[in-house]
Amino acid sequence: MPFTLAPELHAQPTPFYHYDLGLLDATLTALQQAARPRNFQVHYALKANVNLPVLARIKAHGLGADCVSGGEVQRALEAGFAPEHVVFAGVGKSDAEIRLALAADIWCFNAESAEELAVLNELAGAQDRTARVALRVNPNVDAHTHAYITTGLEANKFGISLADLPAVVAQFGSWPHLELVGLHAHIGSQITDLTVFAELSQRLNELQTWLESQGHQLPHLNVGGGLGINYEQPDGQLIPDFEGYFSMFDRHLVRRPGQQVHVELGRAVVAQCGTLLSRVLYVKQSQSTRFAILDAGMTELMRPALYGSYHHIQNLSSTAPELLYDVVGPICESSDTFRKAVALPETRRGDLVAIRSAGAYGEVMSSGYNLREKVAAVYVGG
């Protein structure tokens, strides 16, 4: 079913984000039906979308929170996630952010370097606490996704490289305010070739065996996020392949008795539930190209400009025969293009356009460039 907009929302000023909380509920139900019987705990990666009504649904379905800044830790607590279900990851945590998370007594810090561990130890000591820590390793596994969202290769800034891990683990005894509780890896985002998760599992199995040989039993493993969605055909498969994702780990990750396994999904939870609604300001025919100029631009949805990402585009107002348009925004950058040569029914000034699959890394990545105002969010269903 293509996207439809309730009649009462046709007069809503554009651009705006539209969230389908009914679809979010259905997604979360499917997610937990795949995760729970296999005994996986899902932490939602707040970075994908931090809107409170969205977080409220996610919390109601029993997910935890994966945060990458002090602001996200605060937002998760504000949304009602219990501190014992909050983790704090990120390659550059500031002292103030670490202090805030320590004071909230969150479940775990995913640490990415010996330098960070030393600071964490010192700040935990100052609060007379012990910080629970998982080591984020860089497993050097290729996720076969866009270079900008690949994170698990030696050349990426993330995690402790396999070569440095022995030295970091050997140092652990010198940090009295840290408790090693787990191993963490995240290899990238928008992953559609699920076999890379088998490779990641294999690497984690080897690392776990090695850590045990060094005297470290791990109560938990965290395999990161990364499950992709179908941007090309948003109505083809509305709910991502959670069964395929979890069964891959189930088959390949060797767990110890009683060991908890966390996954931290962002995109697959929320992307399909969000749509950016915009109106056509002008249709401009140049010598070579027909442009549909929208009132939304890269300031509202940066993904096409930043990664060349595909978002499905629908004209909700016209059923005329199709023509080709370059669909662009109003911002003073040539990269402010949603897509070139899009087949749309003949389009006129005032037509409503839906830009699909924008619920993850859409509104959160919006900017005030050109002094643009932050757009409204509308919630339906659920």
- Tell me, residue by residue from 304 to 343, as one string, x for binding to ligand LLP by CB under 6 A and - for no binding: ----------------------------------------
CB of 218 to ligand LLP, least distance (A): 18
* Dihedral of the alpha carbons of 249, 310, 318, 5, in degrees to the nearest 10: 40
Stretch that binds ligand LLP, among 21-29, 160-168, 222-230, 316-324 (CB under 6 A): 222-230
Nearer to ligand LLP, 264 or 300 (CB): 264
Q: Is 237 exposed, middle or buried (0-12, 13-18, 19+ CB in 10 A)?
A: exposed
How far apart CA 113 and CA 168 sit, in angstroms, is 8
Q: 100 with 70: CB under 8 angstroms?
A: yes
CA distances from 204 to 116, 156, 255 (A): 22, 18, 10
Say how many residues touch ligand LLP, by CB under 6 A: 21
Nearer to ligand LLP, 224 or 329 (CB): 224
- Tell me, residue by residue from 181 to 200, as one string, x for binding to ligand LLP by CB under 6 A and - for no binding: -----x--xx----------
**DSSP codes joined into one string, 70-88:** HHHHHHHHHTT--GGGEEE
- Window 47-76: residues binding ligand LLP (CB under 6 A): 47-48, 66
CB of 45 to ligand LLP, least distance (A): 4
Nearer to ligand LLP, 48 or 123 (CB): 48
Among 134, 141, 149, 305, binds ligand LLP (CB under 6 A): 149
Place of tokens 């643009």: 372
Tokens for 218?
């791990």
Q: Which residues pair with 291 in a beta bridge?
A: 284, 326
The verdict on 224 binding ligand LLP (CB under 6 A) reads yes
Nearer to ligand LLP, 224 or 382 (CB): 224
CA distances from 221 to 44, 83, 149, 253 (A): 16, 18, 22, 10
- Provide the binding-site residues for ligand LLP, judged by CB under 6 A: 45, 47-48, 66, 89, 149, 151, 186, 189-190, 224-227, 264-268, 303, 361
